[in-house]
Amino acid sequence: MKKIRELMQHDTWVKPYLKRYRSLLFYSLLFGVLTAICASALMFTSGYIIDRSATHPYNILMIYAAVVLTRAFGIGRPVFKYLERLRSHNWVLRVTSDLRRRLYHVLEKDAAFFEEHHRTGDILGILADDLGHLQNLYLRTVFPTIVGYIIGFIVIVLIGALNWFYGLLLLLLFFVEIFLVPLISQSIEGARRYRQKAINNGLYVDLTDNIMGASDWVISGRHQDFTQRPKPALKALRTSELKSKRFGWRRDFILQIIFLVMVLVLIIFTNQHLTANQAQANFVSAFVLAIFPLSDAFIPISTGFDELPLYADSVQRLNDLQPTPQQLPAQQDLDPKTFAQLTLADLQFEYDADSPVLINHFSQTLKKGEKMAVLGPSGTGKTTLLQLILGDLTPQQGAVKINDLNVLSLQKQRAKFFAVLNQSPFLFDTTIMNNVRLGNEQASDADVKAVLEKVQMKQKIESLPDQYDTVVQEAGSRFSGGERQRIALARILLQDTPVVLLDEPTVGLDPITEQELLETFFSLLKGKTVIWITHHLQGVELVDQVVFLAEGAIEMQGNPHTLLQTNTHFKQLYDMDRGY
């Protein structure tokens, strides 16, 4: 409990929504209390009718008021229950919707470092389990606990007003029922629930590894290992969950015994204080029966307490999601049509004082329509350079400028200036039309078809049964690697930005397909400023200048045609790349 209190003190994911939707929360609790009151009142009036009818009243009117109240409470209970469910689920769905939206925003801000900071399995676990646990936190812990405490307080006050001794005795029993037993249960069961959560989180990580590496399992011939790998964790989880169920059964039995003691106390109380005359005796059954529906409000409290470690872990994981902080200058507006040049002025960057310098005094200026290839071995800072250009990273020295404006001051307009085509552009499991229109949601069907024709996909698409409404399947698996790149290029053409960044878009393709695709790229991107990250020299004759990076600094640069004639080292690299 101490850990949970400390966590909630610094929480930024749960408390804000308690405040934002406090009116819905209030009405949810109000209707929950009214539901319990109507249930008890229904039993109370029913008990009174039974006792009063047993005395053979001479006129039906003697119990008519009780009959009407019984009907009213009988109608009120389901009505208030419906309203409570309607309000509470509305409240929970609003909160979880906001939480999901916030989660996406956090991940979006950290997109440049997603693979460095997050594991896919962890994010899958947060989406599938943690947000669901927070939903249960409200429905199975917050609401039942508060409603149970309010009802318990009302009962104790009413009995205490009639007899303080029995009021204190019920207070003691209520304390055990709705506070002491839940705390003991949580201390015993909490650690087990936490282990179950840890095993489940690990299973999500293993699941993503197995799915994403399924082909490697098959190629290695380790089919048995693939199927056997999760079994120990699943067995441990099942064993632990069975122990939890058995513990829950025993705990609920004890709670029912305590509740039975409450009933006995009320029986003794009514027999001692409500039997002085016939009028009082008519209320004996009423008082005793009225407490029975309250078990529905009290017993779920312990179950909610048992799950607090799950909620605490979920809240902790959400609070640990912090995007990489970046201080941006005041944002400015610039018309993309006025783009004249992209300037990389004396850039220097390192992640921290203990890491090596990845970009070391890098300077280049590209005018509108110029194209530059950046080459170098892995780890020389090529991808880091793209992140600096996009504004995902802030250099320790120098600046990236569009015209005379720092790119950091244009982040709100970034999608209007930069388009990116990387090694594995993602195609969503929807139609070709929708995937391409991602580049410009306002584009017409004719615009989409026009860019697909430019990237030489028209004939292929129109040969398909559903043509442009063909679903590309998961990650675009309906098409080959080269075709996926062409569809992604169509998306970029539709986006129509002045600067295009190519991050090794042809890696893994055969040389012929690669050359054809590169020629298509640079033919269609004529007039665009292009920075192309590549690992070899195929197609380099299509650019205006080549820059070789070594340890973050420029080792060699120039026009590829000039270098081929004048630079022996470049000619050797060029010949080696072609296998001469």
Question: Residues 362, 281: one domain?
Answer: no
| Nearest CA among 440, 439, 437, 433 for reference residue 470 | 433
Residue-level pLDDT at 149: 83
In a domain, 534, yes or no: yes
Distance CA 175, CA 178 (A): 6
Q: Name beta bridge partners: 345.
A: 399
Question: Residues 443, 524: one domain?
Answer: yes
In a domain, 330, yes or no: no
Tell me which residue range forms the domain holding 359.
336-578
24, 34 in Cβ contact below 8 A?
no
Of the candidates 293, 320, 347, which is a domain's last residue?
A: 320
For the stretch 320-352, pLDDT in tens is: 766 666 677 788 888 888 888 888 888 888 877
- Residues 6 or more apart in contact with residue 88 via CB below 8 angstroms: 28, 32, 138, 139, 143
Question: Residues 255, 398: one domain?
Answer: no
Dihedral sign for Cα atoms in the order 422, 426, 431, 433: negative
Question: Residues 180, 310: one domain?
Answer: yes
Question: Residues 203, 106: one domain?
Answer: yes
Distance CA 484, CA 461 (A): 12
In a domain, 212, yes or no: yes
In a domain, 326, yes or no: no
CB-neighbour burial class of residue 107 (10 A; exposed 0-12, middle 13-18, buried 19+) = middle
E strand or H helix at 555: strand 553-558
Ranges of the chain whose pLDDT falls below 50: none
User: What is the SS3 assignment for 501?
Assistant: strand
Token pair, residue 161, equals 């007003």
402, 417 in Cβ contact below 8 A?
yes
Token pair, residue 485, equals 């790149």
| Nearest CA among 154, 166, 179, 160 for reference residue 36 | 154
Radius of gyration of the chain (CA): 35
Of the candidates 275, 291, 320, which is a domain's last residue?
A: 320
Give 324's DSSP letter.
Answer: P
- Residues 6 or more apart in contact with residue 292 via CB below 8 angstroms: 43, 263
| Nearest CA among 124, 167, 350, 345 for reference residue 265 | 167
461, 449 in Cβ contact below 8 A?
no
Dihedral sign for Cα atoms in the order 83, 85, 86, 90: positive
Domain count, the chain: 2
| Nearest CA among 409, 541, 436, 432 for reference residue 492 | 436
Residue-level pLDDT at 75: 94
Token pair, residue 476, equals 């675009």
Question: Residues 50, 127: one domain?
Answer: yes
Question: Residues 254, 168: one domain?
Answer: yes
In a domain, 96, yes or no: yes
State the Cα angle at 324 between 319 and 328, rounded to 5°.
125
User: In whole angstroms, what separates CA 101 from the centre of its chain?
Assistant: 8
Of the candidates 320, 354, 385, which is a domain's last residue?
A: 320
Residue-level pLDDT at 80: 93
For the domain that residue 242 is a member of, what is the CATH number?
Answer: 1.20.1560.10
DSSP string, 220-287: TT-HHHHHHTTHHHHHHHHHHHHHHHHHHHHHHHHHHHHHHHHHHHHHHHHHHHS-SSHHHHTTHHHH
E strand or H helix at 405: strand 405-406
Distance CA 382, CA 535 (A): 10
On whether the pTM is more than 0.75, the answer is no
In the chain, the amino acid numbered 86 is: L
In a domain, 187, yes or no: yes
Question: Residues 36, 174: one domain?
Answer: yes
Write phi, then psi, for 163 (nearest 5 degrees).
-160, 115
Question: Residues 307, 416: one domain?
Answer: no
Question: Residues 280, 364: one domain?
Answer: no
398, 348 in Cβ contact below 8 A?
yes
In a domain, 148, yes or no: yes
In the chain, the amino acid numbered 301 is: I
E strand or H helix at 470: none
Question: Residues 535, 490: one domain?
Answer: yes
Token pair, residue 557, equals 């640069």
Going from the C-alpha of 353 to that of each of 344, 346, 356, 357, the distances in angstroms are: 23, 19, 8, 9
For the domain that residue 390 is a member of, what is the CATH number?
Answer: 3.40.50.300
Which residue is associated with the tokens 């071995």? Answer: 377
Residue-level pLDDT at 73: 92
In a domain, 416, yes or no: yes
Token pair, residue 242, equals 């069975």
Question: Residues 511, 568: one domain?
Answer: yes
